[in-house]
Amino acid sequence: MSTSYDEFLNEVRELGEYADREEADQVSRAVLGVLAPRLPANGAEHLVAQLPDELSDAVRQGELLDAESFGVEEFLTRVAAATGARPKTAEWDASAVLTTVAHRITGGQLNHILSQLPSGFAVLFGKPELSD
């Protein structure tokens, strides 16, 4: 269920209300790079297989970091640091990217990713019904 890079960025740009594709690309790379070390190695590789090739390097660079266990707050703090944004803006950015990811990967892959993360992440993937 591969998606094109243009389609992915267009959806992120629309959801995040970004000025241009470059901003959507920068935010996408930052969010995916922060998410990658939070996923088990096989989870990150399965995600890469369903993302546009142009974004796979962001996930793979994040994978090079030691796997870590952190919650939504720390995730958003790291996204804010990666993008130079405030925490509330980081939440908006993460939601735009991760909701796009949820729309563009298989349901099974989404379930697999969400099962590896604390329930609070479901909201960022546009699935509030799956959070506590």
Structural domains of the chain in order of their starting residue, each with its CATH number: 5-125 (1.10.490.110)
**pLDDT attached to residue 67:** 64
Q: Report DSSP letters for 65-132, one per residue.
A: SPP----HHHHHHHHHHHHT--HHHHHHHHHHHHHHHHHHS-HHHHHHHHHTS-TTHHHHTT-GGG--
Say whether pTM exceeds 0.85.
Answer: yes
Per-residue confidence in pLDDT tens, the chain, 132 aa: 456 999 999 999 999 999 999 999 999 999 999 998 888 877 888 888 899 999 988 888 755 556 678 999 999 999 999 999 998 999 999 999 999 999 999 999 999 999 989 989 999 999 988 766
Distances (CA, A) of 93 to 32, 77, 99: 11, 12, 10
